[in-house]
Amino acid sequence: MLANLTSSERQYALILASAVALAGVAMAIMGRSDVLGVHGVIVMLFGGGIAWVVMTSFYGPEPTDDRTASYYDDPIKVGIVLSMVWAVFGMFMGVWVAAQLAWPNLAFDAAWSSFGRLRPTHTTGVIFGFGGNALIATSFHVVQRTSRARLAGQVSPWFVLLGFNLFCVLAVSGYLLGITQSKEYAEAEWYADLWLVIVWVTYFILYIATIARRKEPHIYVANWYFMAFILVVAILHIINNLALPISLGHAKSYTIWPGVQDAMVQWWYGHNAVAFFLTAGFLGMLYYYLPVRAQRPIFSYRLSILSFWGIVFFYMWAGSHHLHYTALPHWVQTLGMTFSVMLLVPSWASAGNALLTLNGAWHRVRDDATLRFMMAAAVFYGLSTFEGSFMAIRPVNSLSHYTDWTVGHVHAGALGWVALITFGSLYTLVPSLWKRERMYSATLVEVHFWLAIAGTLIYVFAMWNSGIIQGLMWRTYTEEGALAYSFVDSLVAMYPYYIARAFGGLLFLIGAVIGCYNIWMTVRATPLAATRADVPVQPAAVPGE
Partner 1 sequence: MDFSYETLVAFSKSWGLFYMMGFFLCVCAYAFWPRNRNRFDRAKHSILERDDTPWQK
CA dist., res. 338 & res. 394, Å (int): 10
Closer residue to ligand HEM in complex, CB, 147/353:
353
Number of alpha carbons in the 13 Å side-chain half-sphere of residue 436: 20
**C-beta of 92: minimal distance to ligand HEM in Å?**
8
**Can you give the C-alpha Rg of the chain in angstroms?**
24
3-state secondary structure 330-384: HHHHHHHHHHHHHHHHHHHHHHHHHHHHHCCCHHHHHHCHHHHHHHHHHHHHHHH
How many beta carbons lie within 10 A of that of residue 471, not counting itself?
Answer: 20
* Site size for ligand HEM (CB under 6 A): 47
CA dist., res. 131 & res. 123, Å (int): 10
Question: For residues 267 and 335, is the Cβ–Cβ distance under 8 A?
Answer: no
Closer residue to partner 1 in complex, CB, 61/217:
217
3-state secondary structure 220-242: CHHHHHHHHHHHHHHHHHHHHCC
φ/ψ (deg, to 5) at 436: -110, 155
471 binds, among ligand HEM, partner 1, none (CB under 5 to 8 A by kind): none
CA dist., res. 286 & res. 271, Å (int): 21
Torsion of CA 446, 447, 449, 452, to 10 degrees: 180
Query: Which listed residue (54, 134, 251, 298) binds partner 1 by CB under 8 A?
Result: 298
**For residues 416-445, which are near ligand HEM according to CB under 6 A?**
417-419
Closer residue to ligand HEM in complex, CB, 28/171:
171
**For residues 217-256, which are near ligand HEM according to CB under 6 A?**
none
124 binds, among ligand HEM, partner 1, none (CB under 5 to 8 A by kind): none
**C-beta of 68: minimal distance to partner 1 in Å?**
6
Closer residue to partner 1 in complex, CB, 174/346:
346
φ/ψ (deg, to 5) at 254: -120, 140
**C-beta of 461: minimal distance to ligand HEM in Å?**
14
Closer residue to ligand HEM in complex, CB, 304/340:
340
**For residues 317-346, which are near ligand HEM according to CB under 6 A?**
318, 321-322, 340, 343-344
Query: Which listed residue (69, 239, 244, 472) binds partner 1 by CB under 8 A?
Result: 69
Query: Which listed residue (97, 152, 222, 375) binds ligand HEM by CB under 6 A?
Result: 97
What is the CA angle 141-145-151, rounded to 5?
65
In this chain, which stretch among 40-48, 63-71, 87-95, 145-153 interacts with ligand HEM, using CB under 6 A?
A: 87-95
Query: Which listed residue (52, 115, 309, 477) binds partner 1 by CB under 8 A?
Result: 309
**C-beta of 476: minimal distance to ligand HEM in Å?**
20
91 binds, among partner 1, ligand HEM, none (CB under 5 to 8 A by kind): ligand HEM
**For residues 343-362, which are near ligand HEM according to CB under 6 A?**
343-344, 347
Binding mask 421-460 for partner 1 (x = CB under 8 A): -----------x----------------------------
Question: What is the Cα 297 distance to its own chain's centre?
Answer: 26
Q: Which 3 state secondary structure label does DSSP give 477?
A: strand
343 binds, among partner 1, ligand HEM, none (CB under 5 to 8 A by kind): ligand HEM
In this chain, which stretch among 112-120, 143-151, 200-208, 364-372 interacts with partner 1, using CB under 8 A?
A: 143-151
311 binds ligand HEM (CB under 6 A): no
Question: For residues 256 and 245, is the Cβ–Cβ distance under 8 A?
Answer: no
Cα separations in angstroms, 494 against 204, 322, 469: 44, 23, 8
528 binds partner 1 (CB under 8 A): no
Query: Which listed residue (27, 84, 392, 445) binds ligand HEM by CB under 6 A?
Result: 392
453 binds, among ligand HEM, partner 1, none (CB under 5 to 8 A by kind): none
Question: For residues 40 and 25, is the Cβ–Cβ distance under 8 A?
Answer: yes
CA dist., res. 86 & res. 83, Å (int): 5
Question: For residues 328 and 267, is the Cβ–Cβ distance under 8 A?
Answer: no
**C-beta of 475: minimal distance to ligand HEM in Å?**
15
527 binds, among partner 1, ligand HEM, none (CB under 5 to 8 A by kind): none
17 binds, among partner 1, ligand HEM, none (CB under 5 to 8 A by kind): none
Q: How buried is 173 (Cβ within 10 angstroms: 0-12 exposed, 13-18 middle, 19+ buried)? A: middle
**C-beta of 436: minimal distance to partner 1 in Å?**
13
Closest CA to 449 of 468, 477, 421, 469: 421
33 binds partner 1 (CB under 8 A): no
CA dist., res. 231 & res. 383, Å (int): 27
Q: Binding residues for ligand HEM, per CB under 6 A?
A: 91, 94-95, 97-98, 101, 119, 122-123, 126-127, 131, 184, 270, 274, 278-279, 318, 321-322, 340, 343-344, 347, 384-385, 388-389, 391-392, 397, 400-401, 406-407, 409-411, 413-415, 417-419, 505, 508-509
